Amino acid sequence: MANPIVTEYRAERRHLVESLQSQGISDLAVLRAIEMTPRHLFVPSGIGRQAYEDRPIHIGLKQTMSQPSIHARYLEIAALTGKERVLEIGTGSGYQTVLLAHLAEQVFSIERVGPLLERARQAIQACGVRNVSTLLGDGTIGWRAYAPYDVILVSAGGPSIPQPLVEQLAEGGRMLIPVGDQEEQVLALITRREGKVERRDIAPVRFVPLKGTHGW
């Protein structure tokens, strides 16, 4: 029997996918993950239909869930194959966490705001994914117990690249992180090869500030 939580707003999710395709998102795995994930579970109650509009949504506790096109481009750049161990810094609503669960083998996600993480955990559980582990803590120091990671995705903008996260990248691993001031950043792709770090700047972005020992 189909999960009613997942089947609800199915038409809206299909329309969102078509909108993302028209904006140039072509990674079929990313589009499929978005179509599979009930985004309305991750927004405040009463605005379920708005969850499928391409705009950011305030989720309380001074936090914002990025618009779907930002998530889609972010994940398209990450180029996941389904075999990766991924570390997500900033669980937030948990929406991107579930997208990652459909795109990677195992997801580890850290959130520093307790009430936000509790809500995210409930939504993640409702989606039925089983390959996600979450932690309440300082994301800028990573989650060393399960390192190294093939991919690290940082969902907030920091003043620099946290060294502990670099150290927890696997050989050949890559990290996406917004770097800049608290108003505007550039999305940087960090790759670790033979102990050295390569950086390639992708595009200007605007994320919430990265808080923690190695953040703001």
Question: Six-digit token pair at 100?
Answer: 């990652």
Which segments of the chain are extended strands (E)?
A: 57-60, 63-65, 85-89, 106-111, 132-136, 149-154, 169-180, 185-193, 196-205
Question: Six-digit token pair at 142?
Answer: 């990573």
Widest Cα–Cα separation across the chain: 50
User: Could you give the residue numbers annotated as active site?
Assistant: 66
- Cα 191 to Cα 7, 78, 152, 153, 173: the distances in Å are 38, 11, 10, 12, 6
Which of 67, 78, 91, 59 lies closest to 156, judged by CA? 91
